Structure 1
Amino acid sequence: MPFLAAAFLVLYGLPDQTTRYFAWTIRPEMTPIIMGAGYGAGVYFFYRVSTVEEWHRVSSVFLGIATFTWLMAIATVLHWENFNHRHFTFDLWVFLYALTPILIPAVWALNRRTNPVELTGNGPHLPRAVRVLSGGIGVLLTVSALGLFLAPQLMIDVWPWTVSPFTAQILAGWFALFGVVNGVVVLDPRWSATRILVQSQILGFTLVLIGVVRAWANFDPSNVLTWGVVGGMTLYLIAILLLYLRMETR
């Protein structure tokens, strides 16, 4: 949580100061804003991990985080020369993404063995249509994200704001996290298994859309994908807000 909180404060709070305060220079501001929003949502998620007693309430998110940490570790090795090796945040970044690709899967495996997920129990269940839709979106986005990670030039050519091969792969890692956790939702029908994930996503997407307003100058309005990305995130946020309200009142 302290690592994630620090990253949130720097990347989301000072997106134009990454040269001075972060492990490498990120331009333009929209990329660090998305990263910061993700880390901010991560602070909330891991806070909830530390407070809940039932593993199934957070288990699905760990698979997405594991995927993300592995992609971050690979991107770090591939773009080693892009880092500011003299900055202490570089050491923190390397420490974090050397440790978490092992730690996160280990936490998932240990808890799955000692706290097996039972799919029965009281409480509301997600509608089947929501689970199928979430699973479909998750699979599609995961495959797309992995493809963009392997071929970042595809994103560079069409993305609504300027990205480098490094930042394209970083963004693909975030998309893969989102895709995997949405895909895993289909495996457990209970609302209690999805509630914390949805809360984290509401926070993350709200921060991103506020960031879109802050960094609108980074976008190319003539690019159709600009409206697809911004509109898609807006519709998704509205959808999960409505889902959350419906499930909480059942």
Structure 2
Amino acid sequence: MERYRRIGPGLTGVFAVFSGLAFLAFLAFLALYVVGGHTDQIFSWTILPARTAGFLGAAYAGALVLFAGALHDRVWARARISVLPPAVFSGAMLVATLMHLEKFHLDSPEVLPRAIAWLWLVVYVVVPPALVALFLRQQRRPGADPAPDEPLPVPLKLVMGVLAALMTGFGVALFAEPSGTPWPWTLTPLTGRATAAWLLGLGWALVQGLVDGDRARLRPGFAAIGVTALLDLLASVRYRDSMDWTGTASWSYVLAVAAIAAMAAAALLSFPGGERAGRAR
């Protein structure tokens, strides 16, 4: 009998599916981040201003890193960071999609945006309940989690706690009232709720990291958050004309994203060499 809970056949199958979905997410990254000004032609709904597409594209790039980092590890405790945060995000995104279904290119006369819109809808209907069901199934598998090898330092836990509170708070506020929540660029009800979905997923990832309390289990999560923050900082420069620099919202936002990038980099660079991380494989 195995000492540690390992990923069962069901979750391995989901990760195999996510390998295919990762390719689609990469295409979404290209459509949203690289050529974000053409979402009317190459995405499931039209996103304006392009600054929002930059944020969403950066988040999809982070998701790719998350799954790539978790796919190679078959110990459940180190892979589950890639399950519940995406479930939270995809569930919120499904609700946002259904609330604003008329905004999607489901009836577009153009084949490409119509196909992408229907693919989007199918993916977000299927993925959230599948991830929750498989998480519960995996938690019931025999075995235990390995003991934490690399406890989170207190300063890192404090920073994670503050960022988790900020992301969750803004995520809830944006989802409830997109037009009434301060934000450094213009958001529509749909783009506000799509942005909120990512904030809720990232906030959940930080909360889960605090609960697990082991950096060895959070490497994919820290890498994903760091990539998202770095690309979003670059998007702030690229789309600087879309942001309101006269008040404090834009500057506060940039400082917060820079702090997230610094936290992720510090966490990754301070990891021990990795000898202990391989013990439970």
Same fold per superposition (TM over 0.5): yes
In the other structure, the counterpart of 1:202 is 226
Residue identity opposite 2:55 in structure 1: I
How do 1:205-244 residues align onto structure 2 when only pairs under 5 Å count?
205-244=229-268
Aligned mate of 2:54, from 27, 30, 33: 33
In the other structure, the counterpart of 1:75 is 96
* Offset of residue 49 of structure 1: 2.6
Aligned mate of 2:136, from 102, 109, 113: 109
In the other structure, the counterpart of 2:121 is 94
In the other structure, the counterpart of 1:58 is 79
1:193 aligns with 2:220: no
Residue identity opposite 1:16 in structure 2: G
* Misfit runs of 4+, over 4 Å: none
Listed one character per residue, the Cα deviations across residues 193-231 of structure 1 (whole Å, up to 9, x for unaligned) are 111111111111111111111111111110210000011
Q: Distance in 2 between matches of 1:246 and 1:106?
A: 35
Deviates more, 1:73-82 or 1:50-59: 50-59
Q: TM-score, normalised by structure 2?
A: 0.82
* Offset of residue 126 of structure 1: 1.3
In the other structure, the counterpart of 2:31 is 10
Deviates more, 1:69-78 or 1:138-147: 138-147
Q: Distance in 1 between matches of 2:39 and 2:143?
A: 42
Segments of 5+ residues of structure 1 without an aligned counterpart are none
Kept in 2: contact 1:66–1:104 (CA 8 A): yes
* Offset of residue 115 of structure 1: 6.2
Q: CA RMSD in A?
A: 1.9
Kept in 2: contact 1:135–1:185 (CA 8 A): no
Segments of 5+ residues of structure 2 without an aligned counterpart are 1-21, 109-113, 275-281
The structure whose Rg is larger is 2
How many residue pairs get aligned? The number is 247
CA separation of 1:92/1:147 partners in 2, compared to 1, >3 Å: closer, same or farther? same
Listed one character per residue, the Cα deviations across residues 19-70 of structure 1 (whole Å, up to 9, x for unaligned) are 0101111001111111111111111221223211111113134222111111
Kept in 2: contact 1:55–1:115 (CA 8 A): no
Q: TM-score, normalised by structure 1?
A: 0.92
Q: Distance in 2 between matches of 1:47 and 1:191?
A: 17
Residue identity opposite 1:130 in structure 2: L
Listed one character per residue, the Cα deviations across residues 71-119 of structure 1 (whole Å, up to 9, x for unaligned) are 1111111101111113111011101111111122123222222266525
In the other structure, the counterpart of 1:162 is 186
Kept in 1: contact 2:71–2:79 (CA 8 A): no
1:141 aligns with 2:164: no
